[in-house]
Amino acid sequence: MTSIKTKKNLFLKCAVAATLCILFLWLLYSPSTVYQQQPSSVKKDVSSLDQIGVNQTCSATKDGQPATEYAVMIDAGSSGSRVHVYRFKVCNDPVLEDEVFHMLSPGLSSFKEDAEGAAQSLSKLMEIAVQSVPKESQGCTPIAVKATAGLRMLPGQQSKNILASVRKYLETYPFPIADVEIMEGKDEGVYAWITVNYLLGKLKKSQRGQSAAVFDLGGASTQIVFEPSFHIPTESMTEGDHQYNLDYQNSTYELYQHSYLGYGLNEARKRIKNEMITTWKDEASRTGQVYHPCLPLNHQEDFESSNGTVIKLIGTGAGHAECRGIIEKVFNKDKVCELAPCAFDGVYQPPLVDTFKGNDLFVFSYFYDLTKPLGMPSEFSVRELGELTEKVCKGETTPFQHVPNAIKTLEDNPDFCLDLTYTYNLLRFGYDIPSDRLVRTAQKIKGAETGWCLGASIAMLDEAKLCLTA
């Protein structure tokens, strides 16, 4: 009897052990576990950005274009030049498959009277373009150089001479030249709107009414573009240059857009520093120095004022509130508003709080460059941006101790308080975005750079039709 009981116990133990082994093996090699163990690709796949799941296995399009096309776009910005080389699958509508991106400094506008030097500064970018486009496709890959506000602000013939020299330089390469031009501010903003909404999949017919607003902050200008929604039949957007009717994939979008020249971060920084000199002009002319609340305590720098006089600026580290008081003056909120309602500088803008209540707000370029190094998430409220600004302007370091390189970044840039305060005021005080409204920021969306270049390249490909196979 004891022998039988012992055998039963032994059998039960073996059965339990076998069951546990089978369960372990099932967990180890189940489909979900195997998938988790697969290494992730280093290179991001952006082949399904617009038309997820659409079969793109064709050799040529209906109009004779090859299935794969390339476009080269050079962004000649105020702070540097950037090349974007895009590869598209274009069986139906263009679907982005890959992007090569590289940037360098300084920008074309920094060369001023040295037009040939400006053109030669693009040599590294052109080398990358040649390496990125297959040789057999180079002869039908359009290239464009589009300069933004920095070149637009050069005096006299300087900008025209630089553009002429750049065109001559590009003619030594195999790419057909689509454009070498100074882009209008409204196009810069609308192309950025196309880029962001294309990458988010918001330009599909099923997503009508869900488009995101874009706010771009460059070195010399800032742009706002959104699709306002008027809920009362008698209301509509007031007519004017701010209107932009965009035709895209058989749909029409009525957009509001405006580009504020002189309100980019670099230009605004100059105006903010000059504002104190203007306010204390007697002190500046008498002593050659002025104290500035937006600069760190005891920081000193020589600054060339608007009248050409070099004045020493001395930081007081006074904090966010005093700095904000100076910065609000540059927005010209008191300027006559001929077409109401106005945002700032006397410019009409449909109120975001009424005409764009729930859709995403995307802020990028310097908005991203200033917040990401300090550990801000990709989505935050305008109030949280203000709180971050207060900490930076107080000189606090404790909140940033666990953010890699954040403290060094702050120490290396004495303008950080000024820049963040301007950025916060631009959103809250300038564009009048409520404090509790969330904004999203990104350098890339699904692996592709934000900004106007992708949108401009899609338009350029549609117009070029260079690679006919039949």
Which residues are annotated as catalytic? 188
Contacts of 28 by beta carbon, 8 Å cutoff, 6+ apart: none
If phi > 0 it is left, if psi is from -120 to 50 it is alpha, else beta; for residue 429 that is alpha
403, HSE (Cβ side, Cα atoms, 13 Å): 16
Q: Which residues contact 345 (CB under 8 A, 6 or more apart)?
A: 260, 263, 331, 332, 335
Q: What type of residue sits at position 432?
A: D
Q: Are 175 and 244 in contact (CB under 8 A)?
A: no
- Name the β-bridge partners of 83: 74, 102
Tell me which amino acid residue 282 is: D
User: Could you tell me which residues are annotated as the binding site?
Assistant: 219-223
| Contact status, residue 451 vs residue 442, Cβ threshold 8 Å | no
| Calpha distance 367→370 (Å, rounded) | 6
* Amino acid of residue 19: T
- 310-315 and 289-292: which strand pairing? parallel
Binding site as annotated, residues for ATP: 219-223
Helix count and strand count (H, E) for the chain: 17, 17
